[in-house]
Chain A
Amino acid sequence: MTDDYIKHKYAPILPKKDEWPVVKLSKHRKEFINAVALAARDRIIALTGNNIEILREELETTLYREKLRVKQNPWLVDPEDDYEFWSKVKSGMVHLTAESSLSHKDKKIAYHHILLDITTRYAEEIASNFKHSHYKATRRIVTYGFSRLLNAARVKGFKSLFSTQYTLQDKIQIIGETEQLRDLATKGTVVMVPTHFSNLDSILIGWTISTLGMPPFIYGAGLNLFNIQIFSYFMNALGAYKVDRRKRNLPYIETLKTYSSEAIQFGCHSLFFPGGTRSRSGKIESKLKLGLLSTAVEAQRANYQKKLDDVGGKIFIVPVTINYHFVLEAPSLIQEHLSITGQERFYQETDEFSNSLKIAKFLVKFFTKGSDISVSVGKAMDVLGNYVDKDGRSLDSHGRNIDTRDYFVSDGKISIDTQREDQYTIRLGNRIVEEFHKINRVFSSHLVAFTAFQIFKRQNKKLDLFSLLRLPEEDLVISYSQFKMECERVLENIKEIRAAGKVHIAPHLKQDLDAIIEHGLNNVGLYHAKRPLIRNENGDIITEDMNLLYFYHNRLDGYDLEKLF
């Protein structure tokens, strides 16, 4: 992967929409949901050791929590009949407990029935509502609308509104292994795993996927986002299925995993944000949520069980980083991060993206002003984290071919061993984190934020993080000459890391240092009311918001650069 960006026009890899896996899936939506519900039921029965007492307990816990949720935390998107449904489950359970005439076998059947009712309902809730017409419309809105805005801002004059000089691709640069990704998406099934910093990411990734000429990927989006109508429309159009974080009961989680696993086996390209949620601290994710990731490993094994041994049954993991100068939600994200790590008992989740108007305003601002974004596509890997070549064959570190199937073989046969697959998932997670750091693209704003924060930290050696962040901003000043010198040291080090292939840098970091610093200062946290880093009238470097500075600084965490200070 090179640092430089070359603008491409990508032809669609599957021109006919009927060939799109996601369209096929939506055509067979009903059968698919039934299949998921049944598979989820069997999975839960297996997990409870086929013991009805354990199953009954799980069902009771689920019932209790669901009734509580319906009462205490109802959302706009919840189905109307939530209350009735759970009341029905309750009466069914009560009836069964009271019934003494039923044989053990009949009881089991009855409980399995209740379980299937629940998994069916959950599968229905989770399932995506992909409509091709909506997808097309959305794509048009995003590309057409945004490029109009972009041109209006950049090309002067009345005609600018119709200029095609700039497109979204100038704004959002897609770099990295794009050809490999397109290629593999025609051969096998792709699971894309991006870093996650902003609610905009899903739309951005959706746009990226479509720009690269690939059919839409399905992905799990927080159900809370469906509360907001504009998002709900976008998400549905992009093939999102719904993840409800309020439901933490076993049947729900297993149904969700089954849904994901079955969709991958169906051949639907998928998208997981493996961090699970937006990175609160601004650091690149280092601990991943393994639940959904495990479904990729499981689906790969299931494909081999179905004797899909060639590349058609292979699952490719593609890490992606999204690189920003500016994260809209940064102030609230870092606030949350600090109150969690600061062990405060309560913290309130706040959301800038609380209504459609605010989002629209932001989008206009975003596209009419500077601040570029880049999306780096990493090398594809198999589910064990081995790189694959252009034909999708796995390679070891010496370039020898590996048959991924062999990882699931015991005594010559594919075997199901969930403990083994859990370990594989951990391994895959570690590999993804490693790749994130490699493909991450350093921006000038990351450089200046990192350097400035480290200098402040060094100036106040004796303070712990929280005391440091609480220092009054007027005490925090760095002279420009010192700042420049330290930036140079950090940059030199980053270049060394780049030379070792462990990070990437944006082309604007190849200018002279003053220009880089200016670029960085102009861009870091651009639209925040309080800027994380500016130059005052004396030319010194100061901060208006230490927490934000810390947030943007964290982007370069994990490269061992702290040792320079």
Chain B
Amino acid sequence: MILKNSSRNSKPVGVIGIGSFGTAIANMLAEKSQVIVYARKAEVVDEINTQHTAGGRDLHHNIKATTDIEYICQKCEILFPVVSSTGFREVIQQFAPFLHPYHILIHGTKGLSLLLPEGKTLETVDRIKRDNIATMSEVILNETVVVRVGCLAGPNLAKELSLKQPAATVIASKYNEVILEGQRLLRSDRFQVYGNQDIIGVELSGVLKNIIAIAAGALGGMGLGENAKGLLISRGMVELIYLGKALGGGTKSFIGLAGIGDLVATCSSKLSRNYTVGFRLANGEKLPDIIADMEEVAEGINTVKLIKTFAESTGMRAPITENLYKVLFEGFKVEEALQYLMKYPFNVDVDFL
């Protein structure tokens, strides 16, 4: 299969959502293509079109914005949805009537969506199964007729990307075509793009690493050193792989760029929202207060809640997630959770390969 690389250049590329990561992606795409951004709020669109900024962040002059869903779907064959997981399904539902099977969607959202029977919430069900959890690509497949779906994952802290520091990402899709298109649109001499066919594994890597990132932030906040972090990252990796396999991902993807790569980056960086949540918790702040003054959602919080229930429902043990849940939602002190983990009888180092 040979795709003519230049053929699609004439068409603009769409970006759905213009948070910090959306902005970073839009700017990178704009280096090679015309970009149309969809934003819900008219004032955001005005800001982009008149001042070339979004929320104060500079935007490339190739970027235009619109509130018109039909227009962006008509103009663009390739769209990058980059909205938080909580709003993801709703946005996709709004887009669904205008999407066709020729569209390609590559999302960059590292969260999960819960799918419960009418009238139920996570608090009122006693167990959830895999069917009740959807990754973002599964949301797209469920809600639209688009099949050529991909995802972006990897150590891509938005701030570093906007400073044009070198980085790499993984584009995962069952379709080579999607991977090649993603590479063509994003690759530059400071941005490397890898391909992976295991889209579920790559999505889960990005999702599950957020749990460990919060925990790493907590360790950092307690002023603990690198030994502790090394311990956490490697045990976190084991937990991530067990959960990830139970959810349908392949081990290989978890030890790739989107797994270990992203885990190391977010577990060491105050630029990560999830890390920040853990850091501030360890300093005695309360979760509602932290959420209240964060600009954007820390996906990890929602993920912890969901995965803890899933692990309980399937009878799996996920000690880091379980203890983090207690810290986040049951008023446990970080120190107590850490004590518990230190006593937990892990004894085999690596048993997943």
B1 partner, pick from A396, A412, A417, beta carbons under 8 A: A417
Given contacts A386-B145, A402-B145, A417-B176, could you give 11 more A-B pairs where the C-beta distance is less than 8 Å? A396-B145, A397-B142, A407-B102, A409-B102, A410-B102, A410-B177, A411-B4, A411-B11, A412-B102, A419-B175, A423-B147
B342 proximity list for chain A (CB < 8 A): none
Q: Which of A386, A404, A423 contacts B175 (CB 8 A)?
A: A423
Sample 24 A-B pairs with CB under 8 A, ordered by A number. Answer: A384-B101, A396-B144, A400-B97, A402-B100, A402-B101, A402-B145, A403-B101, A404-B101, A406-B101, A407-B102, A410-B3, A410-B102, A410-B177, A411-B4, A411-B8, A411-B11, A411-B77, A412-B102, A416-B1, A417-B177, A419-B1, A419-B175, A420-B177, A423-B147
CB-nearest residue of chain A to B143: A397
Cβ-based interface call for A418 (8 A): yes
Contact between B147 and A419, CB atoms less than 8 A apart:
no
List A contacts of B177 (CB < 8 A): 410, 417, 419-420
Report the minimum CB–CB distance from A301 to chain B (whole Å). 13
CA distance A103 to B296 in the complex (A): 68
B175, A420: Cβ atoms under 8 Å?
Answer: yes
Please encode chain A, from 527 to 558, with 1 for each CB lying within 8 Å of some chain B CB and 0 for all others: 00000000000000000000000000000000
7 closest A-B pairs by beta carbon, nearest first, are A406-B101, A409-B102, A407-B101, A406-B102, A419-B176, A406-B100, A396-B145
- Inter-chain CA distance A409–B100, complex, in Å, is 10
**Contacts A406-B102, A409-B102, A411-B77 given; does A384 touch B147 at CB 8 Å:** yes
Q: Which of chain A's residues have a CB closer than 8 A to the CB of B245?
A: none
Query: How far, in whole Å, are A263 and B174 apart by their CA atoms in the complex?
Result: 29
Q: How far is the CA of A64 from the CA of B96 in the complex (A)?
A: 54
A427 touches B97 (CB 8 A): no
Across the interface, which residues of A come within 8 angstroms of B7, CB to CB? 411
The answer to whether A423 touches B174 (Cβ under 8 A) is yes
Least CB distance, A441 to chain B, in whole angstroms? 25
| In the complex, chain A residues whose CB is within 8 Å of the CB of B144 | 396
The answer to whether the Cβ of A398 comes within 8 Å of any Cβ in the partner chain is yes
Which of A398, A400, A402, A427 is most buried by chain B, counting CB atoms within 10 A of its CB? A398
Residues of B269-316 contacting chain A, CB below 8 A: none
A440 → chain B closest CB, angstroms: 20
Q: Residues of A contacting B3 with CB < 8 Å?
A: 410
Nearest residue, chain A, Cβ from B9:
A411
Q: Which positions 136-162 of chain B face chain A at CB distance < 8 Å?
A: 142, 144-145, 147-148
Give B165 Cβ to nearest chain A Cβ, in Å. 33
**Closest-CB distance, B172 to chain A (whole angstroms):** 13
Cα A384 to Cα B102 in complex, Å, equals 13
Chain A residues whose C-beta falls within 8 Å of the C-beta of B100 in the assembled complex: 402-403, 406
State the majority secondary structure of interface residues on B: loop
Nearest CB of chain A from residue B100's CB, rounded to whole Å = 5
A408 CB, min distance to chain B CBs, angstroms: 8
Contacting residues of chain B (183-214) with chain A, CB-CB under 8 angstroms: none
On chain B, the number of residues with a Cβ less than 8 Å from chain A's Cβ atoms is: 21
Residues from chain B with a CB closer than 8 A to the CB of A410 are 3, 102, 177
| Bound Cα distance from A4 to B212, whole angstroms | 56
* Chain A residues positioned under 8 Å from B101 (CB to CB): 384, 402-404, 406-407, 409
Please, how many angstroms separate the alpha-carbon atoms of A417 and B142 in the complex?
24
Chain A positions near chain B (C-beta within 8 angstroms): 384, 386, 396-398, 400, 402-404, 406-407, 409-412, 416-420, 423-424, 427
Least Cβ–Cβ distance between B98 and chain A, in angstroms: 10
Alpha-carbon distance A423/B3, docked complex (angstroms): 17
CB proximity of B284 to chain A, nearest CB, Å: 46
B248 to chain A, nearest CB (A): 14
- Give the complex CA separation of A416 and B2 in angstroms: 9
Across the interface, which residues of B come within 8 angstroms of A403, CB to CB? Answer: 100-101
Residues of B within 8 A of A424 (CB): 147
Which chain A residues border B11 with CB–CB below 8 Å?
Answer: 411
- Quote the shortest CB–CB distance from B117 to chain A (angstroms): 12
Q: How far is the CA of A292 from the CA of B176 in the complex (A)?
A: 22
| List of B residues within 8 angstroms of A406 by Cβ | 100-102
The chain A residue with its CB closest to the CB of B181 is A410
A393 vs chain B, min Cβ distance (A): 13
Q: Is the CB of B96 within 8 A of A418?
A: no
Q: Would you call B96 and A398 a contact (CB within 8 A)?
A: yes
**Which B residues between 1 and 43 are near A, CB-CB below 8 angstroms?**
1, 3-4, 7-8, 11
Chain B 73-101 residues near chain A, CB threshold 8 A: 77, 96-97, 100-101
Complex alpha-carbon distance, A463 and B174, angstroms: 40
**Using Cβ atoms and an 8 Å threshold, which residues of chain B touch A407?**
101-102, 147
A427 adjacent to B145 (CB under 8 Å): no
A85 to B77, CA, bound (A): 52
Give the chain A neighbours of B147 by CB distance below 8 A: 384, 407, 423-424, 427
Nearest Cβ on chain A to B225's Cβ, whole angstroms: 47
In Å, the complex CA distance between A187 and B165 comes to 58
Give min CB distance, B251 to chain A, whole Å.
Answer: 21
A386 to B100, CA, bound (A): 13
Chain B residue, CB-CB nearest to A417: B1
How far is the CB of B326 from the nearest CB of chain A, in Å? Answer: 31
Complexed CA–CA distance, A396 and B97 (Å): 10
With a cutoff of 8 Å between Cβ atoms, the chain B residues found around residue A404 in the complex are: 101
Among residues of B, the one whose C-beta sits closest to the C-beta of A416 is B1
Residue of A402, A404, A406, A409 contacting most chain B CB atoms (<10 Å): A406
Q: Chain B contacts of A402 at CB under 8 A?
A: 100-101, 145
Q: For residue B87, give the distance in angstroms from its CB to the closest CB of chain A.
A: 20
Shortest CB–CB separation between residue B309 and chain A, in angstroms?
Answer: 20
Residues of B within 8 A of A423 (CB): 147, 174-175
> How far, in angstroms, from A266 to B305 measured CA to CA in the complex?
56
> Mask for B50-93, Cβ within 8 A of A = 1, else 0?
00000000000000000000000000010000000000000000
Separation in Å of the B249 CB from the closest CB of chain A? Answer: 18
Cα–Cα, bound, A400→B144 (Å): 10
A416 to B142, CA, bound (A): 26
Complex Cα gap A420–B77 (Å):
17
Contacts of A400 in B (CB 8 A): 97, 145
Minimum C-beta distance from A559 to chain B (A):
15
CA distance A411 to B5 in the complex (A): 11
In angstroms, how far is the closest chain B Cβ from the Cβ of A386? 8
Residue of B102, B142, B177 with highest tally of chain A CB at under 10 A: B102
CB distance from A306 to the nearest CB of B (A): 19
- Chain B residues whose C-beta falls within 8 Å of the C-beta of A419 in the assembled complex: 1, 175-177
A418: B residues at CB distance < 8 A: 1
The chain A residue sitting closest to B144, CB to CB, is A396
User: Within 8 Å CB of B148, what residues of A?
Assistant: 420
A-facing mask of B208-251, CB < 8 A → 1, else 0? 00000000000000000000000000000000000000000000
Instruction: Report B-chain residues with C-beta under 8 Å of the C-beta of A412.
Output: 102
Q: Output the least CB separation between A417 and chain B (Å).
A: 5
Residues of B within 8 A of A417 (CB): 1, 176-177
For residue A424, which residue of chain B has the nearest CB? B147
B residues in contact with A396, CB < 8 Å: 144-145
- List chain A residues, Cβ under 8 A from B96: 398
C-alpha gap A352/B216 in the complex (Å):
66
Q: How near does chain B come to A399, taking the closest CB pair, in angstroms? A: 11
CB of A248, distance to nearest CB on chain B (Å): 25
A406–B77 Cα gap in the complex (Å)? 11
A386, B147: Cα distance in complex, Å: 12
CB-defined contacts of B174 to chain A, threshold 8 Å: 423
Q: How far is the CB of A404 from chain B (nearest CB, A)?
A: 8
Question: Which chain A residues border B102 with CB–CB below 8 Å?
Answer: 406-407, 409-410, 412
Q: How far is the CA of A201 from the CA of B97 in the complex (A)?
A: 42
- Min distance, Cβ A429 to any Cβ of chain B, angstroms: 14
**Interchain CA distance A281-B11 in the complex, whole Å:** 52
Nearest residue in B to A427 (C-beta to C-beta)? B147
Q: Which residue of B lies closest to A402 (CB)?
A: B145
Q: Within 8 Å CB of A409, what residues of B?
A: 101-102
Most chain A CB inside 10 Å of its own CB: which residue of B142, B145, B148, B176:
B145
Chain B residues lying within 8 Å of A411, measured Cβ to Cβ, are: 4, 7-8, 11, 77
Q: How far is the CA of A402 from the CA of B102 in the complex (A)?
A: 11
